Chain A
Amino acid sequence: MTTTTVTPSVSREFLLEVQQQSQQNILRCYQCGKCSAGCPLAYAMDLSPRRVMRAVQLGLADYVLGCTSIWICVSCETCSVRCPREIDIARVMESLRMISIDKGFSPAEKEVETFHRVFLDVIEKRGRAFETELVASYSMGGLGTLKTSIANISLLPGMISKGKMALAPPNASGVDEVKKIFAKVREIEQRKTSGGSE
């Protein structure tokens, strides 16, 4: 264990960033733990959702941005709908993921982050999720670990034989519009970051 030094300047800055991004008042959290009690995945996290909230309250950015919890969270919203302080905890988790990407943190759950990236790549390219390509490029592109790749590939024959894998890619006429949306979102985000330095 280590001793954490808590100073006003450090704790304020990160807390405000998370509050701004998530539109939630994290200081309302009184650490009752109902989020963690109901979270189906808390057992697999290194910090329970309650501890994530606590770390944000104290402004411990490195501590919380490097944790596995924010990537294991699947946004099932159980915590958010039951929170007695009406904090949308799932939204806070989402914000922490985005901040962690922005700040260039290496995701503690690399696979999860990779999956989301590949998924969005497929959508940008095809307009719709093409599961066959998704499984293939996620598993065989060397992005996942060997173990998960083998596990995923081992499902393929079954899926194909059950007709659960389409062999031809989807044909969405809206794909051009989707490409534009991706481009525009990137442009707006670019504008935001460069706008800040102006």
Chain B
Amino acid sequence: MARIGVFLCYCGTNIGGVVNIPRVAEAAKAMPEVVFVQDNKYTCSEPGQLEIRNAIVDNSLDRVVIGCCSPRMHEKTYRKAVESAGLNPYLLEIANLREHCSWVHGDDKERATSKAIELVKMAVAKVSRHESLFPKEVPVTKRALVIGGGVAGIQAALDIANSGYEVVLVEKQPTIGGRMSQLDKTFPTLDCSACILTPKMVDVAQHPNIRLITCAQVSKIKGFVGNFEIDILRRAKKVDETICTGCGVCMTKCLVRTPSEFDLGMRDRSAIYIPFPQAIPLKAVIDTEHCGHFQYLKARQEGKDVPDCNICQQTCPAEAVRYEEEDEIITERFGAIVVATGFKTFDHSAYGEFGSGRYPDVISSLQLERLMSASGPTSGEILRPSDKTHPKTVVFVSCVGSRDDNKGRSYCSKICCMYMAKQSIMLKEHDPDVQSYIFYIDIRAGGKDFDEFAQRAQDEYGVLYLRGRISKIVQDGKKLIVYGEDSLLGHPVQIPADMVVLATGVEPNDGAPELAQILNVSYDTHNFFVEAHPKLRPVETQTDGIFLAGCAVGPRDIPESVAHGSAAAVKVTALFSRDTLTTDPMVSTIDQMRCVGCLACAEVCPFNAIEPQVLRDGRVVASVNESLCKGCGLCVATCRSGCANLKGFTLQQLLAEVNSLWR
């Protein structure tokens, strides 16, 4: 026989004003196994908690029911109070007499009171079937994996490393730096993007706690928070990066020319290449798709005769070229993961009305960044791609691939309004004769000094803003005719332009949903990763130990990405500040004697927490990894043999609640 104590809270008049507490107390005394009943003005107050503690000790209570506010409010508080009396904190049940009774039945005190009695009865019935539960302690591997080496990932890696923990930074491209390394200037301060980013990139390379793996991606994950085991697929660079000095001789010798990804096709690169002069690591890689040697190998396999090329291998002063190098899988253990896979810009070929990329002088905003960059294809001179002349009339078009359901992109990309202002200002700085026009729908300039900056573009630099989305661009000789409406004027307008810049929107990088599936974290319809809570847990995921940073979550600017990188780093270091982790004990259990090994439970488990286990007699049964289980109970409702149960919400406990209503 259990010894249950019932504590009833008046909550001032919140409960007591509607529910007749003395009558509830009277009824409680008659309930089975109840040996003690007490009421209190405010149970949650310091003296209220003390009374519970004393009552437990004085009356040797072994179960506690508190009739008070919602358990979502004070369950933790009361668990502590119960624990302080030497009782297991999970031997407590709360009857919600406030939110679910007095506050919603204030119009009928009589009915409210009888409902309160039943709510207490249900809690008593349930608590008598409670068991002591004990959280588990698991050790933490204090190493972090950061996926993505853009500015958000760099920031997260540096912050974690500076806190004294080891970091592995994995980057898909041959270099870190991300989108920011492609930019010329940054808004609204106009400081040079490379000047502020490259020192950080160098810090990453030189930090004793950071190991950088480029040309690599995560291919598999096992384990759980504190103890992830991760496979990293490192694609062969065909160059030994421990020997390559980054001298660049190979690039001058290579015979192949193919459009540079870094310069968005506005310049060619060799097949063995370093993406840009400030790349980290400053090591060459071979693009096997275009390299003459690998085309020779492929042709030979197909029985065709193509001349071989190994000029880079022959001329490399350091003898670093390794054609035979293979892809490899690196398996490592980590305690936490930061996902910072970043973004790419919308591909404007989806807009047939803007020429689908047919007009050479209709370029994307990121291409304009490369044109403006001193290290870009034109050494910072702004020349139109078609005839290398200086454009004098430039039209900017906002929301290309943003706020357009027609193109499956309903969201605002957030950064375009500001970078258009920046680019139009920079055009004027480059050439005072340039007149820029910006077609916008709304100017979204929320941010420190943002609106002032957009205004400055207009009143100091003479940029003309026209409110309206354009509908068509037509090539007319050397001019591009832009058809729009000035919606403030209410008239159609057309502008003969020398160059058109499409402000292409932000979208998640390729491979984001595949990575999300590997990591088992959620992503939205646009393939952005989803935060655990959009406001209060912006860098966490629903999976413990996996954090998010930067544009992988949604469009954001540089300072925000940096802040989110740091925020994710803080979450990681907070996790690493402990030697062990406590896990919630309200998890699933499997009665392995009754389990038939159908593993339907494993199939439905959203957290891959159930795995087959082979018993000594050869029988296969389900087994719950308590560190992974989140206690949703999906397996329990799925189990056909009734051997799965959920601690804290067992079938017996729920049935006891139901049954008590008719007892």
Contacts and interface: CB of A to CB of B under 8 A. Distances in A.
Are chains A and B touching in the complex at the 8 Å CB cutoff?
yes
Interface of A: 30-39, 42-43, 47-48, 50-51, 78, 82-86
Contact of B483 (A31, A37, A84): A37
B485 A36 contact: yes
Interface stretch (B158-166, B467-475, B580-588): B467-475
Contacts of B484: 33, 37
Contacts of A32: 399, 403, 441, 468-469, 487
A36 B404 contact: no
B203 interface: no
Nearest to B402: A84
B585 to A, nearest CB: 50
A86 B407 CA distance: 10
A48 B406 contact: no
A33 B468 CA distance: 5
Which of A37, A43, A82, A83 has the largest number of chain B CB atoms within 10 A?
A37
30 contacts: A30-B403, A31-B487, A32-B399, A32-B403, A32-B468, A32-B469, A32-B487, A33-B469, A33-B485, A34-B468, A34-B470, A34-B471, A36-B468, A37-B469, A37-B470, A37-B471, A37-B492, A38-B472, A39-B471, A42-B485, A43-B492, A48-B487, A48-B492, A50-B485, A51-B490, A78-B471, A82-B471, A84-B407, A85-B406, A86-B406
A84 B403 contact: yes
Contacts of B560: none
A33 to B, nearest CB: 4
B405 A48 contact: no
Given A38-B353, A85-B405, A48 B490 contact: yes
A175 B230 CA distance: 76
Contact of B469 (A42, A43, A47, A84): A84
Interface in B451-472: 467-472
Given A32-B469, A38-B471, A83 B485 contact: no
Contact of B406 (A42, A43, A83): A83
Chain B residues touching A, majority SS: mixed
Interface residues of B, number: 22
Contacts of B441: 30, 32
B406 A36 contact: no
Contacts of B483: 37-38
B468 A82 contact: no
Interface of B: 353, 399, 403-407, 441, 467-472, 483-487, 490-492
Given A37-B492, A43-B492, A86-B406, A48 B485 contact: yes
B470 A48 contact: no
A35 B472 CA distance: 10
B472 A33 contact: no
Nearest to A31: B487
Contacts of B399: 32, 84
Contacts of A30: 403, 441
A32 B491 CA distance: 13
A144 B525 CA distance: 55
Given A30-B441, A48-B485, A82-B406, A36 B492 contact: yes
B471 A48 contact: no
Contacts of B403: 30, 32, 84
Contacts of A83: 406
| A-B interface, 7 closest residue pairs, ranked by CB to CB distance from nearest | A38-B471, A33-B468, A37-B471, A33-B485, A84-B404, A32-B469, A36-B485
Nearest to B472: A38
Given A35-B471, A43-B492, A50-B490, 5 more contacts: A32-B399, A33-B484, A37-B470, A82-B353, A86-B405
Contact of B487 (A36, A43, A84, A86): A36
B406 A33 contact: no
A25 to B, nearest CB: 11
Contact of A42 (B407, B467, B472, B492): B492
B464 to A, nearest CB: 16
A37 B484 CA distance: 4
A94 to B, nearest CB: 20
Given A37-B485, A42-B492, A84 B468 contact: no
A32 B486 CA distance: 10
Contacts of B486: 33
Contacts of A84: 399, 403-407, 469
Contacts of B353: 38, 82
A40 to B, nearest CB: 10
Which of A34, A39, A50 has the largest number of chain B CB atoms within 10 A?
A34
A38 B469 CA distance: 10
A32 B440 CA distance: 8
A34 B493 CA distance: 11
A177 B356 CA distance: 47
